[in-house]
Amino acid sequence: MNILVTGAAGFIGSHVCEYYTGLGNFVVGIDNFDNFYPERIKQMNIDSLLKSDKFQFHNADIRNQSSLNSIFSSNKIDIVIHLAAKAGVRPSIDCITEYYDVNLNGTIALLEAMKLNDVRKLIFASSSSVYGNNQKVPFSESDRVDNPISPYASTKKSGELLCHVYNHLHGFDITCLRFFTVYGPRQRPDLAIHKFTRLIDNGQPVPFFGDGTTARDYTFIKDIVGGINCALNNLNGFNIYNLGESRVINLDKLVKTIENCLGKKAVLNKLPMQQGDVEITFADISRAKEEIGYNPRYEFETGVEEFVSWYSEMKDKLYK
């Protein structure tokens, strides 16, 4: 099987590419090394992939229609896994135009390239942020998601709607996966577990927003990759699934778990809640379990231990 992965040099993308090349598939990766965090970190993510004859990489922007058309026309693609996007809830508040340009116009360009080259199967990476401050927990795919509280969340909901249009008009088989706070080795440096680990390790103050009761459904990267594969093996029509652990960890416990793994105490800089942040994310994963066989396995403490082990091994290269 030939799989095209957008956002291939990113945290989730590099793991996905490794997984499918490891199974013997040919993977075409696209990434434009967006400057949201240093390019050398993304290069490190794909160093081993570039040595594989099962991997072909293109430094390209998904908004560039001619580049996409050229990549599709020169490769017989069977399935697309679309992970590329401008990421981050808080940064999207100050960069609305760019987030809409990349996340929506880039998705349209990709869908059009697929249509032109008769590729009709797509996994679309959505986000738990589409639920906003949903008062009902856990969050279910049947809940209304008409009240996003950040531009990033609204682009992800809009992306789901675009996918539905291409399913309806052109017969695409598309599954949208709502990821819940993914973490693990290679996690982006700006995300909480990575950022807190680095700050605690260095004895620097940790920005602690709110009273510590805000909570997230942290999902380990290997469970996310497993969920993507479940969806890929069950692509039929238009579907939306939550991918989470269906367990909630509050901010206090997050900090204490990292402290325990590092053997160091955190210095907390207590701050008010920030705009765009939701109070809780909590996935109802019953539909994904029943319909596609999704079965997350990682305990939070085990996942953080794996991340801290990776960080300890890589920190000199990451922050040289």
The catalytic position among 20, 99, 100, 152 is 152
Q: Tokens for 223?
A: 């469970």
- 154, 148 in Cβ contact below 8 A? yes
Q: Which residues of 18-35 are buried (b: 16+ CB within 10 A; e: fewer)?
A: bbbbeeebbbbbbbbbbe
- 245, 220 in Cβ contact below 8 A? yes
> Known catalytic residue: 100?
no
Count of C-beta atoms within a 10 Å radius of residue 117 = 16
User: Phi first, then psi: what are they for 185, rounded to 5°?
Assistant: -50, 135
Spatial neighbors of 195 by CB under 8 A, at least 6 apart, are 189
Q: Tokens for 126?
A: 């959505």
* Secondary structure of residue 299 in the 3-state scheme: coil
Please identify every residue annotated as catalytic: 152
